[in-house]
Chains A and B, each alone.
Chain A
Amino acid sequence: MKAPSFAYAKPQTLAEVFDLLERLGDGAKLLAGGQSLIPSLNMRLSSPALLIDITGVPGLGGIKVDGDTVRIGALATHAEIERSPEIARRLPLLAQAVKQVAHVAIRNAGTFGGSIALADPAAEYPAVCVALDATFVLASRKGERRVDARQFFKGIYATDLKPGEVLVAGELAAAGAGYRSAFLELARRVGDYVIVGLAAHAKVGGGKLADVRLAFLGAGDRPLLAASAAKAVEGKAYGPDAVKAAQDALAKDLAPPADLYHSAATKLHLARVLTGRALAALAA
């Protein structure tokens, strides 16, 4: 299908972006990589009056390390993240996750900011950011504000972004000493939207797990931190009992909706399986 007609602007500063957003309101959409926006336009799922291409605004890209924080610019592409030695060293969970994002051609164009702002519950980055307790930097005419990832995702395609705001970066704390990561997802084919996935991160030492974060994707209307499951293994020695405790507790954390091919029961079962496998990978 052919997209409906829209106007196109490519401002050179954030101030111009804010101007356009204020003037057009809901009638404007931000365009970065376009890997989610353009298919929806091609399928005539929306008809914005104006597309604001923000890829010309300086300062929104790049991957910078500042002490223990890695700052990922909104316009950093998946491919840049995949190739980044800084991310491989300091954010192994993200490095594992990015390999699962769609396919090479999509990764060359799609952006970090685009994925976060879209807030597809089946997407990889939101779950990683929730697991790692990331912070998002939002800019508007009024200045910048920071929002915790754990408060940012409100529902399917719904975030804390207010009208007139642009996501400009994500800040993630580098993995501390003794921390291990495991990113696992189940999809029918490489690059598909997940059936269910798990971004797991914990401190592992002396056979015990601590500060366990289990963030699920594809298990609800937003990335979900399985607090009960994590609590069930917190401070415990890794072993079959701990795994079973976590798997049993999962029903308190997750009530995954069915999708076209999998019932809610199947998704919960698969989430349990991933929990077991992730814990094994962390403890290995």
Chain B
Amino acid sequence: MNARAELPLHAPGTQVDKGYIGESVPRPQAKRLLQGRGAYTDDLRFPRLAHVVFFRSPHAHARIKRLDLVKAGKAPGVIGVFDGRAVAEYCSPWIAVLGHLKGIKSPPQHALAIDRACWQGEPVAAVVAETRAQAEDALQLVEAEWEPLPAVIDMDEALEGKRVIHPDLGDNICFKRELDTGGVDEAFAKADVVVEESYGFGRHTGVCLEGRAILADYNAAEHTLTVYHATQAPHMMQDIFSRHLNIPEANVRVIAKDVGGSYGIKVHVYADEMATAALSVMLRRPVKFLADRLESFVSDIHAREHKVKVRLACTKQGEILAFDLWDLTAIGPYSVYPRTSGIEGNQVVNLTGGPYKHKQYRAKMQVVFTNKNVTCQYRAVGHPIAVALTEGIVDLAAAKLGMDPAEFRRKNLIPDDAYPYTFASGIKFEKLSHHKTLGRLLELMDYQKLRAEQASLRKQGVHRGIGLAAMIEVTNPSPAFYGVGGARISAQDGATIRLDPTGMITVLCSVTEQGQGAEGVFAQIAASAVGVTIDKVRLTTGDTGVTPYGGGTWASRGAGIGGEAVLQAGRALRSNILDIAAVVLNMDKAELDIVGNEVVNKLTLESKLPLAELGRIAYFRPDTLPPKFQSELTVTRHYTPREYGFTFTNGIQASYVEVDSDTGFVKLLKHWCVEDCGTVINPMLVDEQIRGGIVQGIGAALFEECLYDAEGQLLNGNMADYLVPMAAEMPDIVCAHVETPTKQSELGAKGAGEAGTAGAPGAVMNAINDALAPFGARVTAQPFTPERILQALRKV
């Protein structure tokens, strides 16, 4: 069942030894975090560090008639006060569009709004002071006069376009996409069964426990800028700071220290962060900005506000013929830089119906501007929507046919031997394992037993539901995601590995760590590839001044892409080490290997030369080596996935719930996920990613929504009113793995970071609707609050 990848980790001809690959090794890097001895950006101390806070628009849409910063400027501890024009002299505006999203449009956005604010929370002025408290005191002395403008809040109104937010653009449409395989109407006409349903997805946000954090340190003497930034993509930020602040690229260094969670929230360009960097240049001293919790709710990107309508056509035997999708999504007043706010909707079009074999598909998707907070990619991007609407309509079709939902899926999932496979939307699958994962899931959860339990409890008035959600997930993207559109976002990554004199190895990798265990995984791969024990490995990530150039962490690419670079570098280093060993020992390289920190006789495993000794010789006694021989104990390798635009993974989740039909409360009894991410380097870390992702998805399904009133005011922007999942309401989550390695790399690892979030909302929705089925009730708008369930039950 768990087909393990065969990994030749040694130079060809040596024995196969997987080393640490596949082992649940506890992360060495976690130790400091367990003692509170990590170094998050706010933990750093700098001389003359100044703090910035932002005066933010209280209106969703308003012209700035007058902004008076004089009183604020005189408050105790204040170093300077700045408006949009002042900062614009140092920081150029940006436009978030990409060439491959045809027709996408967005107006220029400045670091601080000039003349007009377009969402409640948009930064309009900056106050810099000796302490945060003093800056906040001064903030209360800022005087502003506003001319409120009509705010476009509702997405249908935005689409209708009676009021256009950016008149220069003509309408409120940021991006639209249509796809039509042809034959769709014919398929629906001849189908025995047609089902249709509309789904709503509430806008929500990441709520990283560590707020966004940036500390910019400009050195005026050298015209260099060092930015300590809780970011997922330091090289991307290096490029952006360089271009927009007009500082040569190599003079900008971005360092991501420990990051307290990001999930995509911290991979985007934020106006207030750009302003912070500009202020450091303007003031010639370090300036720090932390988004506190109240600010986060109105300035961290939001995501996933969609209204969709989907139709499914199938035969009476249950064979799916076609999907027809209509999707409208509301973003903020700007597309977010540099990845654009068109990607989420684009993904919904790409991924709807993904696990199923059908040839006909039509989609029409539109992205509209509104005067609410900006939105952009957040963990799993469009997947949660595509999976929920697909799995919801599939369940509806199964119900209409009186067919068991698992059976209906079995009939329609792409067969495991059908690959490579080009899907209706044009995306290409290398090799997936839908049937294997479905079989494993049903076995793991004891599906028949749960169905029997459900039936017998129903007779006692206890309403339990089982919901399934099959999914595909985008991982390890090539430049097809951003690069082809003109974005300076790298889809390749590199790793440098160095043998140090005492026999330890140092790994520098351009993929970044936010807690998911990238560094742990790289340590396992590096140790395995070189032949050392894992305690000998040290890592540095997240520093553009130190690591090779790369893309960082996003779209579940860390293990697959960074890991492969580490593997290749490790293997190359092993080879170089053996070159030295051969000349030191006067033996054939082919007779040697490295095992457990020692060069050994490959056949007998007899120790010939400890690495520490080899290091001593290579670094301190090269005079003892042959005259023309040069040791090369530092190696760099890069890796780019080339064959497939995206390396897809697959998985299937199940949710088991109990609905209280009197109160509308949902109790989550249990959750399962069987997932295929290719080679699993550390099962424990993958499980954690899956579980964390599932709980985030549950949050969206049951609890989380950014609630706006008709005037564009956020009503629940605090931790008491915006509900995030806490321990008491969450279920135990059982995970299992199937491994179908990708052949695009030696490691064979795909990505796993977002699968949990992709499938959970769909699974929970289907479970609730399964529980409500005897009442003839269905819920379709997330989050599924008690009120929405009571309304479906017609109790209120």
Taking Cβ atoms with an 8 Å cutoff, the residues of A that contact B are 1-5, 43-44, 186, 188-193, 195, 260-263, 265-266, 269-270, 273
Asked if A269 meets B723 with Cβ closer than 8 Å, knowing A2-B136, A5-B137, A262-B786, the reply is no
Closest to B131 in A: A2
Instruction: Let me know if A189 and B729 touch, CB within 8 A.
Output: yes
Report the bound CA distance from A3 to B134 in whole Å. Answer: 10
Contacts of B723 in A (CB 8 A): 188-189, 192
Contacts of B787 in A (CB 8 A): 261-263, 266
Counting chain B CB atoms within 10 Å of each CB, the highest count among A192, A193, A261, A262 belongs to: A261
Instruction: Let me know if A265 and B292 touch, CB within 8 A.
Output: no
Tell me whether B663 is interfacial, beta carbon within 8 Å.
Answer: yes
Contacts of B785 in A (CB 8 A): 261-262
Residue in A190, A261, A269 whose beta carbon sits within 8 Å of that of B726 in the complex: A190
Contacts of A263 in B (CB 8 A): 787, 796
Instruction: Let me know if A1 and B707 touch, CB within 8 A.
Output: no
Instruction: Let me know if A190 and B132 touch, CB within 8 A.
Output: no
Instruction: Let me know if A189 and B796 touch, CB within 8 A.
Output: no
Instruction: Let me know if B663 and A186 touch, CB within 8 A.
Output: yes
Report the bound CA distance from A129 to B729 in whole Å. Answer: 29
Contacts of B796 in A (CB 8 A): 263, 265-266, 269
Instruction: Let me know if A43 and B294 touch, CB within 8 A.
Output: yes
Interface-lining segment among B21-29, B318-326, B386-394, B713-721: B713-721
Instruction: Let me know if B294 and A186 touch, CB within 8 A.
Output: no
Report the bound CA distance from A176 to B726 in whole Å. Answer: 39
Instruction: Let me know if B136 and A44 touch, CB within 8 A.
Output: yes
Counting chain A CB atoms within 10 Å of each CB, the highest count among B132, B294, B665, B796 belongs to: B796
Closest to A258 in B: B787
Instruction: Let me know if A266 and B294 touch, CB within 8 A.
Output: no
Residue in A1, A189, A265, A269 whose beta carbon sits within 8 Å of that of B136 in the complex: A1
**Apart from A186-B786, A188-B729, A260-B707, what 13 extra A-B contacts exist at CB < 8 Å?**
A1-B136, A2-B133, A2-B136, A43-B718, A188-B723, A188-B786, A189-B728, A191-B726, A193-B720, A262-B785, A262-B786, A265-B796, A270-B786
Interface residues of B in 764-796 (CB under 8 A from A): 785-787, 790, 795-796
Asked if A260 meets B136 with Cβ closer than 8 Å, knowing A188-B723, A190-B728, A193-B720, the reply is no
Instruction: Let me know if A266 and B137 touch, CB within 8 A.
Output: no
Closest to B723 in A: A188
Residue in B665, B703, B795 whose beta carbon sits within 8 Å of that of A269 in the complex: B795
Can you list 6 A-B pairs, Cβ within 8 angstroms, ordered by A?
A44-B140, A186-B665, A190-B726, A260-B707, A260-B715, A261-B787
Report the bound CA distance from A1 to B294 in whole Å. Answer: 8
Contacts of A2 in B (CB 8 A): 132-133, 136
Counting chain B CB atoms within 10 Å of each CB, the highest count among A5, A44, A189, A265 belongs to: A189
Closest to B76 in A: A5
Report the bound CA distance from A43 to B136 in whole Å. Answer: 11
Contacts of A189 in B (CB 8 A): 703, 723, 726, 728-729
Report the bound CA distance from A2 to B729 in whole Å. Answer: 31
Contacts of A4 in B (CB 8 A): 136-137, 140
Closest to B705 in A: A261
Contacts of A3 in B (CB 8 A): 133
Main secondary structure of the interface of A (DSSP, over half): loop
Tell me whether B662 is interfacial, beta carbon within 8 Å.
Answer: yes
Report the bound CA distance from A273 to B662 in whole Å. Answer: 7
Closest to A195 in B: B786
Contacts of B140 in A (CB 8 A): 4, 44
Interface residues of B in 692-733 (CB under 8 A from A): 703, 707, 715-716, 718, 720-721, 723, 726, 728-729
Counting chain A CB atoms within 10 Å of each CB, the highest count among B132, B716, B785 belongs to: B785
Please provide the 10 A-B residue pairs with the shortest distance between their CB atoms, ordered closest to farther.
Answer: A2-B133, A190-B728, A265-B796, A266-B787, A273-B662, A266-B796, A269-B796, A262-B787, A2-B136, A189-B726
Report the bound CA distance from A243 to B796 in whole Å. Answer: 19
Contacts of B726 in A (CB 8 A): 189-191
Contacts of B662 in A (CB 8 A): 273
Contacts of A265 in B (CB 8 A): 796
Contacts of B663 in A (CB 8 A): 186, 270, 273
How far in angstroms is the closest Cβ of chain A from B468? Answer: 26
How far in angstroms is the closest Cβ of chain B from A114? Answer: 17
How far in angstroms is the closest Cβ of chain A from B509? Answer: 37
Contacts of A190 in B (CB 8 A): 726, 728-729
Report the bound CA distance from A4 to B292 in whole Å. Answer: 16
Contacts of B703 in A (CB 8 A): 188-189
Asked if A260 meets B133 with Cβ closer than 8 Å, knowing A186-B663, A189-B728, A266-B786, the reply is no
Report the bound CA distance from A121 to B132 in whole Å. Answer: 34
How far in angstroms is the closest Cβ of chain B from A11? Answer: 26
Report the bound CA distance from A140 to B229 in whole Å. Answer: 54
Report the bound CA distance from A2 to B51 in whole Å. Answer: 13
Counting chain B CB atoms within 10 Å of each CB, the highest count among A2, A195, A262, A265 belongs to: A2
Instruction: Let me know if B716 and A260 touch, CB within 8 A.
Output: yes
- Type the 1/0 row for B345-373, where 1 means its CB is closer than 8 Å to any CB of A: 00000000000000000000000000000
Contacts of B294 in A (CB 8 A): 1, 43
How far in angstroms is the closest Cβ of chain A from B513? Answer: 29
Report the bound CA distance from A98 to B294 in whole Å. Answer: 29
Interface residues of B in 115-143 (CB under 8 A from A): 132-133, 136-137, 140
How far in angstroms is the closest Cβ of chain B from A281? Answer: 14
Contacts of B136 in A (CB 8 A): 1-2, 4, 44
Report the bound CA distance from A188 to B702 in whole Å. Answer: 10
Contacts of B795 in A (CB 8 A): 269
Closest to B719 in A: A39
Report the bound CA distance from A195 to B790 in whole Å. Answer: 14
Report the bound CA distance from A193 to B132 in whole Å. Answer: 30
How far in angstroms is the closest Cβ of chain B from A221? Answer: 18
Contacts of A186 in B (CB 8 A): 663, 665, 786
Report the bound CA distance from A129 to B288 in whole Å. Answer: 49
Report the bound CA distance from A260 to B174 in whole Å. Answer: 30
Contacts of A195 in B (CB 8 A): 786
Report the bound CA distance from A265 to B795 in whole Å. Answer: 9
How far in angstroms is the closest Cβ of chain A from B556? Answer: 29
How far in angstroms is the closest Cβ of chain A from B667? Answer: 12
